[in-house]
Amino acid sequence: MRFVRTRNQTLIAIALMLITVLGIEPTLAAQQFSTEKRTQIEAAVSKFMATSHAPGVSVAVVENGALAWSTGFGMADLENSVPATEHTLYRLASISKSLTAIGAMQLVEHGKLDLDASVQKYCPAFPQKDITITTREVLGHLGGIRHYREGPNDLEIGNTKHFDKPIEAGLNFFKDDPLVAKPGTEFHYSTQGFTLVGCVMEGASGKSYVDYMREQVFSPAEMAVTQPDQRFSIIPYRTRFYQLNKSGTVENADFLDSSYKIPGGGFISSVEDMARLEVAILHDKLIRRPTRDLLWTPLKPSNGGEDNYGLGWDTGKVDSVFYAGHNGGQQGTSTAFRIAPAQQAGVVVLTNLEGADAGGLAMDILKIMTNTSTESPSSQP
């Protein structure tokens, strides 16, 4: 009997051939994402944009351990009428800390980094203090390292100078300053501290921090567009950055060169790349499960203060559902991401407006994804 191939069978054969030859992966997860959840998320984003006046927002969600849906809303560039999409690149701000922590824990797994050794063992450029500081303490904001200096003559928050040696330059901002607390005793959130972690990683790995992150974190997680926010580079799909003035009108954000704080707040990425990170974490592709559990276990300061922060990751609950993630905020951006490991779910929210409540929107979407009610997140930007 002669076999007659139908039109549908031919299309399927062509699709399978393209998948095989070109390495194209099917997007069944996106096709199967429920219309009801999508409608609820779109309504939450619409409300967020109306109240925050964010020009552009991009969202991605992970369901059943896979990227289920991603899209953009509004504008990435108001002056040139460029829409925001799932490919738009935003400043991650403090979400960068979670990426750095993953890289550091890989070095722990490979026996190259002892979390409880003195940081000077790996970063001799950081001066000895009166007391030992460990990488574990710095990752958990218990190292006594100060945050930004703030004042009319201090330009740390709004740095405009570009540095070709980011770790060295970043250390120079704070390395000679006194500690703000005895290590291990008090929680003091510190973006500067993560520059010290970046220095530790360079010493432990023998590679530059950026090269290590690209090779060992971004590449295995298939995060093809995540990179430092280099202001001199031509970077396709990078958003413009906005803020609200005193009258509530959207304007261009203050200038920032984040080359001095890449480990703690200097990467840019898309929601799709960040969702791929969530998928990689859920499937133990970057670090082993016990290491992930350690990453998400809050350190407890000896002064008895409340602390939900682990190692570069914040934690919390949506009703009884545990989640881990981080918020971020800096010039021209507000960001948040959450992973609910037991439910194999995740959320990424990236916006191009400073001071918007991206964390609140991420929690609303996580509520939709896990069918729960929310408690206030505790992440700091």
More confident residue, 210 or 320: 210
Tens digit of each residue's pLDDT (9 = 90 or more) over 333-372: 999 999 999 999 999 999 999 999 999 999 999 999 998 7
Q: What percent of the chain has pLDDT over 90?
A: 84
Tokens of 15: 């699709």
- For the chain, the farthest-separated pair of C-alpha atoms sits apart, in whole angstroms, at 87
Residue 154, Cβ neighbours under 10 Å: how many? 12
Q: What number of residues does the chain have?
A: 381
Among 69-83, 255-269, 273-287, 364-378, the minimum mean pLDDT is found in 364-378
Contacts 24+ apart (CB under 8 A), 243-248: 243/331, 243/332, 243/353, 243/354, 243/355, 244/53, 244/353, 244/354, 244/355, 248/53
Q: What is the pLDDT of residues 270-324, one digit of tens each?
A: 999 999 999 999 999 999 999 999 999 999 999 988 889 999 999 999 888 999 9
Query: Is 199:171 a contact under the CB 8 Å cutoff?
Result: yes
Helix, strand and coil percent figures for the chain, each rounded to 5: 35, 20, 45
- Does residue 380 contact residue 336 with C-beta atoms inside 8 Å? no
Q: What is the dihedral of CA 278, 284, 285, 290, to 10 degrees?
A: 120
Contact status, residue 94 vs residue 329, Cβ threshold 8 Å: yes
Question: What pLDDT, on a 0 to 100 scale, did the predictor assign at position 372?
Answer: 75
Give me the pLDDT at residue 152, please.
61
Q: How far apart are CA 3 and CA 106, in angstroms?
A: 54
DSSP string covering 259-284, please? TT-HHHH-EEE-HHHHHHHHHHHHTT
What does the mean pLDDT of the chain come to? Answer: 91
177-206 residue pLDDT tens: 999 999 999 999 999 999 999 999 999 999
| Mean pLDDT, residues 99-104 | 98
Map tokens 């530059």 to a residue: 208
The answer to whether residues 179 and 145 touch, using CB atoms and an 8 Å cutoff, is yes
The C-alpha atoms of residue 365 and residue 59 are separated, in whole angstroms, by 9
User: Model's pTM, two decimal places?
Assistant: 0.89
Q: Is the pLDDT of residue 72 over 50?
A: yes
Superfamily of domain 35-370: DD-peptidase/beta-lactamase superfamily (3.40.710.10)
Q: Where are the domains of the chain?
A: 35-370
104-128, pLDDT tens digit by residue? 999 999 999 999 999 999 999 999 9
